[in-house]
Structure 1
Amino acid sequence: MKDVLLKFLILASMLLGLPMLGIVLAGYPVLRYLEFPPETLYVSHAPFSWVAFIAYSGFIIAVVLPLLIPSVRSIRQSRSEGASLFPFPWWGRLGVTTGMLFWILAWTRMPWFAGLQPHTFTPLWLSYILVINALCYRRSGRCMLINRTGYFLLLFPASAAFWWFFEYLNRFVQNWQYMGVHYGAVKYFFLATLPFSTVLPAVLGTREWIAGFPRMRQGFKNFLPLGFARPKIVAWTALVISALGLAGIGLWPNYLFPLLWVSPLLIMVALQVLMGERHVLSEIAGGDWSRVISSATAALFCGLFWEMWNYHSLAKWQYSVPFVHRLQIFEMPLLGYAGYLPFGLECLVIGDLLARLKNQVDK
């Protein structure tokens, strides 16, 4: 248990301390980064640039396309192969019903529902979580909700804490802002924590569902071996770069904003490599990309639902992404969806650590 807690402590210290250290050393006003709820806009975002858009696009395509196309194809081709052996459970049908109901309520403005209108996000995602677990159960007769109930319930408070870290990092780049409602600090904290608690159960449940497709398991089990000759040197390099980047994220938010999504993953994997542990990228050294692809695809899949349900909701978020804010799908600019890919791996990292921590406590 001590090793798990140590990694959490190091990660939290770097994510919370380094961005604030950077702005303190630069002499920036600290209080504006501590405003709660965060409403004041103080980051001047760079305007759209075709040069930056093409450069980012080229990098994302070069990294993602060789992996993303086979993963999408595997899901499509697996529809005919994943014959269900179990009936769709009643609680899955309940999730479909409540999901449709709250979707309608979220996108309409009926006077009798005005008081609850801003709070449809949480029941929408609780419904989604029920449905995605039901889909897993329908295929295999197993799902987190039924067979790993303790772990499943632990994901909710862990998810809330997990997403608050991203909310904190966003203070230094202000890539998204919440619109439509205004609350005091205490009420804002509790009302925001509720939807934040659904992130990990949704992404990890979707990952379990996607990982169950036969072609996902077979197509990426022996895909492309990728490893490093000196992993500890690479780990130290990634750790140093992440630390320097986090310290500078508030000083150069237009250039370092991608680190908001990448640095937590780099830090956790680097710490696990340095401690001699297995990590989410361990299997790719032998050519097994199934966990990586299923996790990244799950976050992207959930991301499409997040952005879609956000689009016409009363309480919503809007984006300001430097250099590449163009070709929006819902509120999110097209290239912004790339951030969901490392985010899926970060969800898997936290899920694995929680599972290990729970197993150690149960012993």
Structure 2
Amino acid sequence: IYGIVGLLMLAFAQFNFIFHIQPFSQWYFPIIWFGYIFFIDALVYKLRGKSLIYNRPKTFIFMLLLSAAVWWMFEGIGWMIGNWYYTGIAGFGGKAASYIFATISFATVIPAVFETFYLLRAIHLFDHVELKRKHMITKRFLRLLTLLGLVFLILPLVAPLYFYPLIWLAFFLLIDPYNYIHKRPSVIGHLKDRKMTIPVSLFVAGMICGFLWEFWNFWAIPQWHYNIPFVDFFHIFEMPALGYLGYGPFAWELYAMYHFIVGLKRHK
């Protein structure tokens, strides 16, 4: 039944872009994205006989909490590099309400990407995507990736004008090698076994969510806008076309962060 509820939430939010019924118009983001999450989860359950929300509700709640924390971290980075900003938030009537709205909205990011990933896995779209040969994963290679991740994290903070895109790979490069070393799920591990189903499915899930984030944002009252040096042309909705390339690696980052934190919990 929550799949039907999700579909109704999606439909209502979509139509409300036209009618602007308040306060729902102001709170469109959590309405439309929780609707999306519920609907996609129900589809996954229909296809696989199991799903995140139905079978692992505690994991789903954990994802919501982690997602809010992770995106608040990215908001801090965004404040420092200045690539995006928000308009239309005055309608919340105060900072407390706007922070509540933001936190609830940010909580949907990781679940949305993971649910899309689970759907792609359920329809077996990329099951046969493989590398031509296996790749050796050496300690030197892992150290190099980690060092590169550290550099990718620092450079956008000290020289954001030139290095801002690197932030969308930094955490993946920092964390995924650690996950691989500690035998946790990792993208890098699939370079060794040649099977690219998970990396490609994650990348595409990030691109799908990225497109939907931008599409629904374009019609909304609270909106984000971009200030992206050098590539601020040929916009698809608010986002410059080249900016969409960041959504695939962003999904890898979320995957790495999630399994890193889960690993820490289990270690305790």
- Alignment TM-score, normalising by the size of structure 1: 0.68
Structure 2 residue 8 is matched with structure 1 residue 102:
no
Is 2:176–2:187's contact at 8 Å kept on the other side of the alignment? yes
Which structure has the bigger radius of gyration?
1
**Aligned mate of 1:206, from 112, 116, 127:** 116
Letter in 2 for 1:99: L
Q: 1:104 to 1:275 in 2, by over 3 A?
A: same
More displaced, 265-274 or 254-263?
265-274
Contact kept in structure 1, 2:187 and 2:199, CA below 8 Å: yes
Map 1:66-215 → 2, pairs under 5 A: 90-105=1-16, 107-110=17-20, 113-182=21-90, 184-215=94-125
Q: How far did 1:291 drift? A: 0.6
* 2:113 alignment partner AA: V
Equivalent residue of 1:317, what SS?
A: strand
Q: Which runs of 5+ in 2 are unaligned?
A: none
Partner of 1:303: 210
Q: Which amino acid aligns with 1:134?
A: A
SS at match of 2:82: coil
Change (3 A) 1:355 1:211: farther
Find the residue that maps to 1:249 and give its secondary structure. helix
Deviation at 1:312, TM superposition (A): 1.2
Report the CA distance between 1:190 and its aligned residue: 1.9
Q: Is 1:260 aligned to 2:167, yes or no?
A: yes
Cα distance in 2 for residues equivalent to 1:242 and 1:347: 14
In the TM superposition, what whole-angstrom CA distance separates every residue of 1:328-363 from its partner, at most 9, and x where no partner exists? Answer: 1111111100100111112222333455456667xx
Letter of the 1:320 partner, please give it.
Answer: N
Q: Give the CA deviation at 1:278.
A: 5.4
**One-letter code aligned to 1:190:** I
Distance 1:359 1:139, change over 3 A: farther
Equivalent in 221, 232, 249 of residue 342 of structure 1: 249
The equivalent position to 1:282 in structure 2, one of 170, 189, 194, is: 189
CA distance in 2, matches of 1:276, 1:155: 21
> What is the alpha-carbon root mean square deviation over aligned residues?
2.2
Quickly say closer, same or farther: Cα 1:234–1:142, change in 2 above 3 A: same
Change (3 A) 1:208 1:186: same
Identity in percent: 27
Where has structure 1 moved over 4 Å in runs of 4 or more?
Answer: 273-278, 354-361
Tell me, in whole angstroms, the C-alpha distance in 2 between the residues paired with 1:197 and 1:181. Answer: 18
Q: Distance in 2 between matches of 1:102 and 1:233?
A: 50
Q: Secondary structure at the match of 2:158?
A: coil
1:216 and 2:126 matched: yes
Question: How many matched pairs?
Answer: 266
Q: Give the conservation status (yes or no) of the 8 Å contact 2:64–2:110.
A: yes
**Partner of 1:171: helix, strand, or coil?**
helix
> Structure 1 residues 155 and 304, CA, compared in 2 at 3 Å: closer, same or farther?
same
Q: Among residues 299, 313, 321, which one is paired with 2:220 in the alignment?
A: 313
Q: Distance in 1 between matches of 2:79 and 2:147?
A: 22
Would the alpha carbon gap of residues 360 and 147 (structure 1) be closer, same or farther in structure 2, given more than 3 Å must change? Answer: farther
On the 8 A contact 2:131/2:196 being kept in 1, the answer is yes
Q: Tell me if structure 2 keeps the 8 A contact 1:170–1:260.
A: no
Deviation of residue 320 (structure 1)?
1.5
Residue type at the aligned position of 1:145: I
8 A Cα contact 1:224 1:284, kept in partner: no
Equivalences for residues 30-41 of structure 1 within 5 A: none
- Which segments of 5 or more consecutive residues in structure 1 lack a partner in the other structure? 1-89
Displacement, 1:286? 1.8
What is aligned with 1:85?
none
Cα 1:187–1:225 change in 2 (3 A) is farther
Structure 1 contact 95–131 (Cα < 8 Å) conserved? yes
Q: State the secondary structure of the residue aligned to 1:177.
A: strand
AA aligned opposite 2:67:
S
